Each structure stands twice: as structure tokens, then as C-alpha cells.
Chains A and B, each alone.
Chain A
Amino acid sequence: MSATKGMVLTMEKRIRVLVAKPGLDGHDRGAKVIARALRDAGFEVIYTGLRQTPELITETALQEDVNVIGLSILSGSHNTIFPKVLALMKEKNMSDEVLLIGGGVIPDDDIPGLKAAGVAEIFGPGTPTASIVDFITANAK
């Protein structure tokens, strides 16, 4: 299907991404920059603001039927938050269809453990937004 610029002639599937700030951390510069970059890449981005609990995150993801959940964590609480989110995703039957990714300040040492638990990728400081877009495009179901 070709699209003459500015006019989408048929309905394409859009990739829907939930960008979430879990826990008490208030640093949202990265989350907002990424949300915007994803929008500019053609995704539909749902951003729910600060102080999201794992329950809020997964319930929002369910209602919005997102393809990707992206968590931005700079406060060191990743080893608590990610497992909780993964557990809730499983409970809600979302694990097979929804990609879980994350970014922020997450030590290299912790990444293998997170991936083994089901996190698809962690994007460290300095990752170009284009890499995140490419990853989602390639891996979202």
C-alpha cells in the first residue's frame, strides 16, 4: 500500500506503546523525549504521568491493548518494579503479546537477570531514540 504524503488511504495497524514512569521517581525528561520520538516515528503513544504503580501500568496496558510497555526508571527500583509488572502481565494474559522494555539508570550487572525474567531489552543512557524505534518496529507483535 502506498500512501501519498499526508493522506493515509487505508487503515494501517499502528503500534501502540505505553510509556510509564513507575515508582516515586520524578525525572521524566527521558520518558517525554522518547514518547515524542515514538510519536514522530508513527506510533501511538500513551503516557500516563508520574507515580505509576505496576497495577496501574498493567491495567492501562490492557485497556489500551498496547503492543509495548516501556518503563523509565532512574531511581534504582528496577529489580522490584520489573518483576511485579511481569507477574501482573502474566496474570492478565498479556505476556505473549506485549513487549516489555525499559531504560534509565540500570546497572549492566542487572540486565541479564531482567532479560531472563522476560524484559525484552534495556536501553542505557545515551541510546539514540532511533535505536528504540527500530527495536520496537522489529519486535512488536
Chain B
Amino acid sequence: MANESLEAKMVAYNAKIEKSLVKNPERNNLAHNRLYTPLDTEELDYESDLGFPGEYPYTRGVQPTMYRSRFWTMRQYAGFSSAEESNKRYKYLLAQGQTGLSCAFDLPTQIGYDSDNAISDGEVGKVGVAIDSLADMEILFDGIDLGKVSTSMTINAPATVLLAMYIAVAEKQGVATENLKGTIQNDILKEYSARGTYIFPPKPSMRLITNIFEYCSKNVPQWNTISISGYHIREAGATAVQEIAFTIADGIAYVEAAIKAGLNVDDFAKRLSFFWDVHNNVLEEVCKLRASRRVWAKIMKERFGAQSPNSMMLRVHMQTAGSTLTAQQPENNIVRVALQTAAAVLGGTQSLHTNSKDEALALPTEDAVRVALRTQQIVAYESGLADVVDPLAGSYYIEALTNQIEQECWDYIEKIDDLGGAVAAIEKGYIQREIQESAYKWQMEVESKQRIIVGVNQFQIEEKPSEGLLRVDESVGEMQKAKLVQLRATRDNATLTAKLTALEEAARDEHKNLMPFILDAVNAYGTIGEICGVLRKVFGEYEAHISL
């Protein structure tokens, strides 16, 4: 009743301002309405749509007190060159107040190749730390108490190997696996669709992933066994809706695989975590987070019959969007990252990495990464944004947009279900095509100036060449090769051979959990290339068929 009169008033209001619109026409690239009113949230039901923080459907957050008791984990992704160098950087970041570790590995490590493989030439230590064996891992965490710190490792295809190495280092430090806290990314599906560091085909990859779920649920109960990632999908060009939809579809595939492997949903689901991008449009990002929590909660409860509340909570790490940062006028990136940090905090992230100003140019220097960390600390301590739980709730726009994103997300999930699920959708190239379309659309908007990027297609200056960037010494490759020679000469090769043979045999039996076998090989100082070589032999390699 009241809203009918409001509706009429809106019509009248819009008519009244027609004239000023003619005099002051609006920009033509605006995606949303000018104004949101109670008319946009008429259907909203507080209890079923929002709920309280820490309660189903978790729209308002997964913990009741959120940042009032504990800030999000400030977790800067880091790693480059040798284990020695990265160890230094980790200690620096911890000393500067970061509250969790996040490891970046180089491409040969991520793809299961040793530093002395011909294919690794030029790549060793460049985008992350080079880890060839347990020996490197011991150096990486030298002087860092794994019982006291939580560590996130961005490793996917060979996640079993790196997790085994981490466990082995912890054992040597005297830390029980029950006390280990951390995350491995372990999300192969987005490698196929967006990130490209796959090794094995889908079926054996899913087996390795479910092996980790099972192993950790028994032995490393505080470990987040997967970080189902949307960051890379977004960075590859997807829209905000596509980011969460495609990722949640991947999540559905993982849950289904685990259930098929005989696991009970409430045994592993509480240790699933997610990884979102945080992009420029501040309010859209907030709504994206809220919508994603609601969607996942409903899926876990209604589709998979989860009983435990922990199984329904979407816990998330976020990273500010690398692709939004520019090579032009890099100081501007500090501002972009600050806005993105605000969005992540208003949206309720559990953990955050902030990019440094030189992101488009190189890996960060100490100075640059310090500013990025300070950005989080300033938002936490000085801005007030962390002082109230889900403060934007109730805004007509926020609730309307959250609903809209949720609805569009369901549409995509349905479409992917029709195609046979995420794995099938990827094999058919559907996900990749959608991402590419969005990426191309974005680029054309930028080139036609429909989308302005400050410093790039507007407000440009004469750029001076960049100075003081981090460079990874090319000698790292040689150093790693020398270490490998030394390793192979000094380890017990007979034992290792036996362990690798046992691994191969176990790999051929699809009912065996490979974690114990990989742990044995790792403890015998098998290299990542040797261990993955065995698995490549048994599982074969993924062949990408989809181009444009």
C-alpha cells in the first residue's frame, strides 16, 4: 500500500527531473540505476535473505564479531629467486606486522619440473621461489616456527608434493601435524580454464585433490585443503558475476568428486575455502561477496545436505586485482589498492593480499610491499571500516545489487549444470569462451574510451623509464642446478628409488591415497621433477584443445 504511493511519487519525481537531465545528461556508460529506493528491496526478508552474521545464509559474514575481535589475516603473497632470498622476505613481512605467510612458487615448481630441466631455462625463481626438493623447503622456513604461523601455498597440480614437504619440515621442527594451520590452493579446474599451470588430465587430478581432502581430514585437521579460486578467472577477463559463478561451479565439482570418493560432506566441507579477486568497483565487490556467501550456503545445505554450519560457510581470501594496476604513473596504484582494500573489508573477507604499486612492472621491492601492507593496517586501525559488522547492509542499492548478482550467478550455475558440470563445461570450452568474450569487450571499451583508465587512456603524462624495480638474478638458475647436483650425490638414492617405485605402483591403483607415498618420496629427498615424473608416467599429461 505504502509502496504504491511511493511508486507514484517516483514516477512524478523522475518526470520532474527530466528537464535537468536534458541540461545535464548522464554519462552513457553507467551500468546501474541512478537511484535505489525501498521499491528495490520490497521483497527482501531480513531473516531468510540476510540473517545475522555467523548464521545461515551468512550474507552478513561468517563470524558474529568479524573484525571487532580479530582483523582479517594480512597475508602478502611473496616468493622469488632462491629459498634463501624468500626466507628473508618472509621474515621482513612478519616483522612488519603481516599476520600470515603466503608462498609464491616459480613456474617450473608449479608445473612439476626441476630447475635443471631444459624447459625451465630462464624461468627459475622468476615468478616465485624455486623449490626443487625438501632441502629447499627447509631453507624457505628456516627460523620460522610452523607451529605459530599459518601458511598459504599457491600450488595446484603438484599440491600433494608441496604439502608433503611442508609437513616434513614441520616434523623436523617438532610441530605435530594436528597443529599445522594453512591453505594449499589445490584448485586444478581453474588452471584448465584460466591460469594454465596444469600437469595431469582432469580425472587423476581430481583424485589427487580428494586424496588431500581425505588425508588432511584425518591428519591435518586445521588445514584448508583447497582455495577454490575466482581470482584468476576474474583476472583472465571474467565479470564479477562470472567470477563467482564459475568458481562456485568448480566448487560443486570438487564436492561431488569428494562425495563420489566416499567422503562425508561434513567431514571435509568445513576446510574448503575460496579466493576472490577484489576489483575497482567498490560497491559491486561488496555485493559480490555477500551474494557469494548466500549462494554457497544454499548449495551446501540444499544441494549437498550438509548438516554442520561450518560446511556452509564460504570463507575467503582475497587479493586486490593485479590487472587494474597500471605501468603508467604507478603511484596511482597505491590509491587503487586502498579502495580495493576498503571493498574487501566492507565485504567481509577473512584474509587479504594487497598488491604493490609496481605490480604491472615487476615483483615488489621491500619498500613497495611495505606500503601495500600499511594500506591494510591503515584501513584496519584508522578508517573505522572494521568497527561494525556488515555496515552497508540495508542500503537499498547494496541489497538490490546483492540480489541481482545472486540471481545472475544462479543462471550461470544452471547453464553449467546443463552442460554437465564444470569439468564438462571446461572440456567444451564454454567457460573459456565466456571469459574471452568479457576480456575482449573490456579491451574494446578501454580503446573506445567508454571505460577510462586514469593515466592510460586519459590523464596521461610523459612517462619516465621506471627505476629501482626488483630484478631476479639470472644466476638463480645456475645456483639451483648446482644444488641439485649436490643433492643427488649426497642423498640415499637406493631408498629413494624404492619409494618412487612404491609411489608408481600406488598411483596405478586408483583406490590408494597417494599422500603417504609422496611423503615418503619427499622425505627421501626426491625432487619435484622426479616425483611428478612418476605421476606423469602413470597419469599422462593434460592436452589443451581449446583456443579461441
Contact = CB atoms under 8 A, between A and B. Distances in A.
Interface of A: 23-29, 32-33, 35-37, 47, 49-50, 53, 75-81, 105, 107-109, 124-126, 128-130
A23 B443 contact: no
Contacts of A78: 122
Given A29-B439, A33-B436, A36-B440, 18 more contacts: A23-B123, A24-B107, A24-B108, A24-B110, A24-B120, A27-B196, A28-B236, A29-B323, A32-B436, A33-B237, A33-B439, A36-B548, A49-B547, A76-B127, A79-B122, A108-B466, A126-B327, A130-B447
Contacts of A124: 327
Nearest to B198: A26
Interface in B455-469: 456-457, 465-466, 469
Nearest to B437: A36
A54 B439 CA distance: 27
Interface of B: 107-108, 110-111, 113, 119-123, 126-127, 191, 195-197, 235-237, 323, 326-328, 360-362, 436, 439-440, 443, 446-447, 453, 456-457, 465-466, 469, 471-472, 474, 544, 547-548
Contacts of B237: 29, 33
Contacts of B235: 27, 29
15 contacts: A23-B123, A24-B113, A24-B120, A25-B127, A26-B197, A29-B237, A29-B323, A32-B440, A33-B237, A33-B443, A76-B126, A77-B121, A77-B126, A78-B122, A80-B123
Residue from B123, B328, B465, B469 having most chain A Cβ neighbours under 10 A: B123
Contact of B547 (A37, A47, A77, A105): A47
A26 B469 contact: no
A130 B547 CA distance: 22
A109 B465 contact: yes
Contacts of B474: 79
A113 to B, nearest CB: 13
B122 A26 contact: no
A47 B548 contact: yes
A57 to B, nearest CB: 14
Q: Is the interface of A mostly helix, strand, loop or mixed?
A: loop
B541 to A, nearest CB: 10
Contacts of B360: 105, 125-126
A49 B544 contact: yes
A128 B444 CA distance: 9
Nearest to A128: B447
Contact of B122 (A33, A80, A105, A126): A80
A79 B121 CA distance: 10
Given A29-B237, A33-B440, A107-B471, A24 B362 contact: no
B465 A23 contact: no
Contacts of B456: 126
Contact of A50 (B127, B196, B323, B471): B196
Given A29-B236, A29-B237, A76-B472, A23 B107 contact: yes
A125 B327 contact: yes
Contact of B126 (A26, A27, A75): A75
Top-5 shortest CB links A-B = A26-B196, A80-B122, A76-B126, A77-B122, A24-B107
A80 B361 contact: no
Contacts of B439: 29, 32-33
A24 B443 contact: no
A34 B91 CA distance: 40
A35 B548 contact: yes
Nearest to B108: A24
A112 to B, nearest CB: 10
